[in-house]
A and B are shown apart, each in its own frame.
Chain A
Amino acid sequence: MSEKMAQTAAGAGSDFDRLTLDWYIDKLVQALVFIGGISAIVFIIGIFVFISREGFGFLLGEFNFKEFFFSPNWRPTSETKETFGILALVAGTASVTGLAMLIAIPFSLGAAIFIAEFASGKTREFLKITVELLAAIPSVVWGFIGLAIMNPIIIETFDVPVGLNVLNAGVILGLMAAPIMTSIAEDALNAVPDPYREAAEAMGATRWQVIYKVVLPAAKNGLLGAVLLGVGRGFGETMAVLMATGHSINIPTSVFDSVRALTATIAAELGETAAGSPHYQALFTIGIFLFVITFIINLAADLVVRGVKKG
Chain B
Amino acid sequence: MPSRISYLPFALTAMTALLAGCGGGEQRQVIQNKGSDTLVNVAQAWAENYQQVDPSVVVAVSGGGSGTGIAALINGTVDIANASRAIKDKELKLAQDNGQEPVQHVVGFDALAIFLHADNPLDEISISQLADIYGDGGTSLSWTDLGVEVPGCKDQEIVVVSRQNNSGTYAYFRDAVLGSRDFKLGTRDMHGSKDVVDLVEKTPCAIGYSGLAYAVDHVKLPCVSTEAGGACVAPSVETAIDNSYPIARPLFMYTNGEPTGYVGDYMNWIKSSEGQCIILEKGYAPATTVNCG
Contacts from A to B (Cβ < 8 Å) = 72-80, 88, 151-152, 155, 159-162, 164, 246-250, 258, 260, 268-269, 271-275
Contacts and interface: CB of A to CB of B under 8 A. Distances in A.
B148 interface: no
Interface centre among A78, A88, A161, A162 (most CB of B within 10 A): A161
B188 A274 contact: no
Interface in B144-159: 153-154, 157, 159
Contact of B188 (A76, A152, A162, A273): A162
A274 B166 CA distance: 10
A158 to B, nearest CB: 10
26 contacts: A75-B183, A76-B165, A77-B171, A80-B181, A151-B202, A161-B153, A161-B204, A161-B206, A162-B159, A162-B188, A162-B206, A164-B188, A247-B164, A248-B188, A248-B189, A249-B189, A268-B164, A269-B165, A271-B64, A271-B65, A272-B64, A272-B68, A272-B71, A274-B67, A274-B71, A274-B91
Nearest to A78: B182
B191 A268 contact: yes
Contact of B174 (A79, A88, A161, A269): A79
Contacts of B203: 161-162
Contacts of B65: 271-272
Nearest to A151: B202
Contacts of B167: 272
Given A162-B159, A274-B91, A77 B185 contact: no
A249 B185 contact: yes
A272 B185 contact: no
B166 A77 contact: yes
Contacts of A88: 185
B186 interface: yes
Contacts of A74: 185
B64 to A, nearest CB: 7
A248 to B, nearest CB: 5
Contacts of B190: 247
The A contact surface, by secondary structure, is loop
Nearest to B190: A247
Contact of B189 (A72, A73, A78, A268): A268
A46 B217 CA distance: 52
B180 interface: yes
A162 B174 CA distance: 24
A246 B159 CA distance: 11
Q: Which 7 A-B pairs have the closest CB atoms?
A: A272-B166, A161-B205, A79-B180, A272-B67, A250-B186, A77-B165, A249-B185
B186 A249 contact: yes
Contacts of B202: 151-152, 155
A271 B68 contact: yes
A51 B180 CA distance: 32
Contacts of B191: 247, 268
Given A79-B180, A272-B68, A247 B188 contact: yes
B56 interface: no
